[in-house]
Amino acid sequence: MKLIKKNNIIVLLIVALPSLFYFLLKTGNHQYERLPIYGINKEIVKVKKSSNFYTLQDFSFTTQFEDNFTAENLHNKITVIGFFDSTDQNLSLEILTNMKYLQQKFATNSQVQFLAIATDGISVSVLNLLANKVTKNHKNWFFVTQSKEFTSDFISQKLYADRNNSIQIPHELVLIDFRGRIRGYFDGTVHKTVKQNLIDAIDILLKEVFVPLKEDKVASKITTKP
């Protein structure tokens, strides 16, 4: 009889604990800060209970493996976007080196991915050679290319509405959350910024995946805009 009661209690706990855990997540006082949510002109969108935030949509690049990388590939992933130009090795090397540092930091986390976009419209064959020089781990780092015009429009219309259509390399790393929303701009040429601020920001977004953060919590200790 005691064994039956004990088994019943175990079954009850197995059934009840997930619901209790979810309830605590929904109603608890979480001590996590929320990163800003940006519009396309770098202005912080007022955080409120709304799903009508700006998201990256309607784009397609070609990867080093000749696959398509679209907005669908951003879903359920935290993405760090960086830009490079094969003819400007100094700036590009700084950005790609810092992206490689991040990739190594999150090498075992399948929820974080990296997107390096060529701004000079290089071919896929050249892109593949460059990608292999930068990293041997291509599981979560995609090198992509498109025409100069398309990439310029993507930069100016999707990420920076206040930027003109020149093909200059943005020096910032852009942080995208698992819903395709812009959550921060970080100087990709400054290792200290990447090591401290960007890693902290990624950690916050990883918490958001599992914990529903309070709508009025905006991160104030992390610089997300250079």
Calpha distance 73→125 (Å, rounded)? 22
pLDDT attached to residue 25? 45
Q: What is the mean pLDDT of each run of 10 residues along the chain (226 residues)?
A: 56 52 45 74 53 86 98 97 92 95 96 97 97 95 97 90 59 95 94 96 91 50 52
pLDDT attached to residue 134? 96
pLDDT attached to residue 212? 55
Domain boundaries, the chain: 1-30, 37-210
Calpha distance 219→224 (Å, rounded)? 9
List the CATH code of the domain at 37-210: 3.40.30.10
pLDDT attached to residue 43? 58
pLDDT attached to residue 192? 95
